[in-house]
Structure formats: C-alpha cells, structure tokens
Structure 1
Amino acid sequence: MSDEHGGNPAKTAVTPPTHTTPPAKFSHGVRKGNILQVAGQVGFAPAAPGQAPAPVGPGLREQTLRTLANVEAVLREGGASWEDAVMIRVYLTDTAHFAEFNQIYDEFFADLTEAPAARTTVYVGLPAGLLVEIDALAVLG
C-alpha cells in the first residue's frame, strides 16, 4: 500500500457491499497503512437496490445492534475486527438511553479477548427516526 514514490502508504476508501454510496463526498471507512477510520454509522438496514437507506425498528436495541453490525462490516472490509478497535465514539440522541445503551454494548462486546476500546459518548441531534450513531478507529497488527 505504498504510493508510487515508495513513501507514505496509499489512502483507500472502504465500502462494504451492504452499504450505499455516502450522500456526500466522504467514505464509510478509510485505511492508510495499518490505520482504519470508520465513519459514523447508523442503524440503517443493509442496502437494497433502488431503495433509499431506512432505519431498522424504532427501538434503541434494534438500532444499536444494527449500527454495531454496520461498523463491523466496515472494519471487516478494511481488514480489521473489533479486537483492532482502539477508539469508539457513540452519539446518542437522548441522555435517558445511556444505561440501556451500556447494557446492549456490554452484551455485544462480552466475548472480546483483549482490552476493550476506549469510548466517548456524546449527545447529538440525528435525522428523524435515528437514535444512535457510532464510529471507530482501528489499528491493525
């Protein structure tokens, strides 16, 4: 993954087949050398040809699990896994969701064998119907 001059590794976009083309000029993930940054993902169901992205179920559990699956899809497409994640940022729309989110999050990551990633949680406004957004930074071996 070096550039044509043999210097810095090339920067490549990472888009899993389950994802639609981003709505603006950004990538779902970007890998440069052994670093993979996953853009904020939301609880959209896998892409269906000819259909606009749509959120899964109205509840926090469904959206959180789908959002984590969408982040994981980008990690895998970029050659990484949750074990490679060093930072996860969580964006919630409602402070009242924090405890429930933590329970879902802890269940999801119960089988990690290495130290969990660092995490920051902030509260934001998201488009209608969306409750959670998550991004991740991974460093590969």
Structure 2
Amino acid sequence: MAYTPYVTPEEYASFGYTLIPECERYSLLKKASRHIDTLTFNRIHAEGFDNLTEFQSETIKEVVCQQAEFEYDNEEIINTILQSYSVNGVSMSFGQSWNVYVENGVAIKKDIYGLLCQTGYCCRLL
C-alpha cells in the first residue's frame, strides 16, 4: 500500500498556503508527512489518520502544511552537511537553536513542534 500524505495539494491550497509551487506540492507534503511520522514515533500512522479526533487531524494537517513550507523555504540550510562555519568573523551554526528543534534528523521550527505536541503524539514515554 502506497504512503499517502496527511494533506493533499488541494487541501494545502484551500487552507490558504501558497509558498510551494503546484508542481512540487505533492512530494513536499509527502516528505513533511513522513517527517511528522518520525517526530510522533509513527503513532499517527499506527492509529490510523481516520481514527484521530477532529482536533488532532486538523492540527496535524496544519503542521504538515507549515512543515512543508519550512522545509521548502530552508531546503539548502536543512540539507547542508556542515554543523557550523565561520567567514571573516561571521559564524553560522546548524542544528538546535532558539527557534529550531531537531529530533531524529528532522528539523522543525519550535512553534510548529509545539503545535504538533498538542496532539499528544510527541511524548517519548507513551
């Protein structure tokens, strides 16, 4: 059975998101959905998206859209192999920062991660 993203390209547009070009939406929404599965330890997939509460499903769809846009907008930085670099006294670091959370290789803005945590699926102790 093929993996289905939690948000379709049509839903993405109907929610008012516009950053990602139409030709790239499906693949980026699928990638973001996979990353959300990683961050939730595959609990959404195991539970079945159709079995979630309305609040959980709406929140996850919103998070997938925001995560897809974050990954699209920051693709070069996220995919870099460098941890940090410095040029002429200016330095830049990748990984955990004041506004980015990294879990199992997935970078997500902390405010988006906080929204995802509201679903109850991010806790390591479940």
TM-score of the two chains, using structure 2 as the length reference: 0.26
Q: Which has the higher strand share?
A: 1
TM-score of the two chains, using structure 1 as the length reference: 0.24
